[in-house]
Amino acid sequence: MRFYDALQLDPAILKRRIAACSTTGEKAYYWAAMAVRSVLIVAFAVGFISFLSGVFGADNTPLAVALFCILLGIRFVNFGYCVKDSLLTLAAALAILVLAPSAAAVVPPFCLIPLHFGGFLLLLWITTQHPEMGNGGLYSFAYIYLTGNPVVGEALFRRGLLALTGYLLCGAILFFKHRHQHKTVRFRHVVRKFDLTRPVCMWQLRMALGVSLVLTAGQIFDVERFMWMGFACASLLSAYPYPGNRFTRFWQRIAGAAAGCGAFWVLYLLLPESMRPMLGPLGGLCLGFCTDYRYKTAMNCLGALMLGAGIYGVRGAVVLRMADTLLGVTFGLVFAAVFHSLVAVRFLPAPETEQPA
């Protein structure tokens, strides 16, 4: 395998190849590919996000982060229907990500649940026909992150321009990478297939309702960094096939958050002040070697806590991260159980794994 081709592989695939290697040289080759891949992704992220933030303003950095993630994902995963309809879908998805989170910051509290539910369900419906491919986690992350960082006025106008820029970049990649796939499948076929007897549709409904409730609760009760609570809840509800192993995710999320918070606290106190900003990129580098959900959770804490420490101090950020995580996964666990007993069992008489379309 060429080194360039190895760089395109997911860490899970690279680790399987390493395990199958019979010589030390082969193992070193794939370890090197994994390391170079991680460095390149972090370097590209820093350059891409810094450039867009410089052009469109630091208050729009969250959308730059979301666009970076979409840019990486859309190279490999499409929406499951023809490219013409997919380009329209991408525009609609970015419009939701720009408008719904900002609207949620100004509408009356009684409007929050229908706003979040409608926006999030539509986002999942148009982008995630095969949750096992990861689109659900990608777009839910973007929605929650932007809900926690809304803008209004002139900054919202700049966010719209940034979304247009992101659309041109991501749309070009979507077209050139996937224009020959699913040529006969139109979006109207997806509309006709919506049926709550299908596990993927039940998964979409559960995700949308659960995330809309936890975001609404966070906003109404003024929970600090409520988006962290939303991330934890969405992570638990995103398990697929439906209903997924909720208890495993519950404990893994808590364990990963605890490990990440502990590692951040120790490193923050040990490192000189000039080197502390490197904790975010360090988490990104380490993430490139992770395949286990717990370790990914831990590494994601480093960048989030680095931002939080500047606002709440290191101790406050760590305590808040753990508190929001516990609230999010506990809410998700209880909600999933109630949803399944009151809604899902009426449409899914027996747990089944949906066959690929």
Phi-psi category of 134—alpha, beta or left, where left has phi over 0 and alpha has psi -120 to 50?
A: left
What's the Rg (C-alpha) of the chain? 20
| pLDDT reported for residue 357 | 43
pTM: 0.94
| pLDDT reported for residue 239 | 87
| pLDDT reported for residue 350 | 59
CB 81 within 8 A of CB 179: no
CB 175 within 8 A of CB 89: no
User: Would you report the helix, strand and coil content of the chain in percent, each value rounded to 5?
Assistant: 80, 0, 20
CA distances, 99 to each of 106, 122, 136, 152, 182 (Å): 11, 13, 19, 10, 29
Strand blocks (E) in the chain: none
Compute the distance between CA of residue 174 and CA of residue 156 in angstroms, rounded to an integer.
26
Amino acid present at 16:
R
CB 245 within 8 A of CB 239: yes
Phi and psi, residue 206, nearest 5°: -65, -45
In angstroms, the first-to-last Cα distance of the chain is 31
Q: Nearest CA to 205 among 339, 354, 328, 330? A: 339
| pLDDT reported for residue 349 | 57
**Residue 350: exposed, middle, or buried by beta-carbon count in 10 A (0-12, 13-18, 19+)?**
exposed
| pLDDT reported for residue 246 | 83
Q: Nearest CA to 104 among 211, 205, 204, 202? A: 211
Return averaged pLDDT per consecutive 10 residues of the chain, 357 residues in all.
89 92 92 95 96 97 97 94 96 97 96 97 94 92 97 96 98 96 92 88 95 97 96 94 83 96 96 93 94 94 94 96 97 94 80 47
Q: Nearest CA to 138 among 72, 188, 229? A: 72
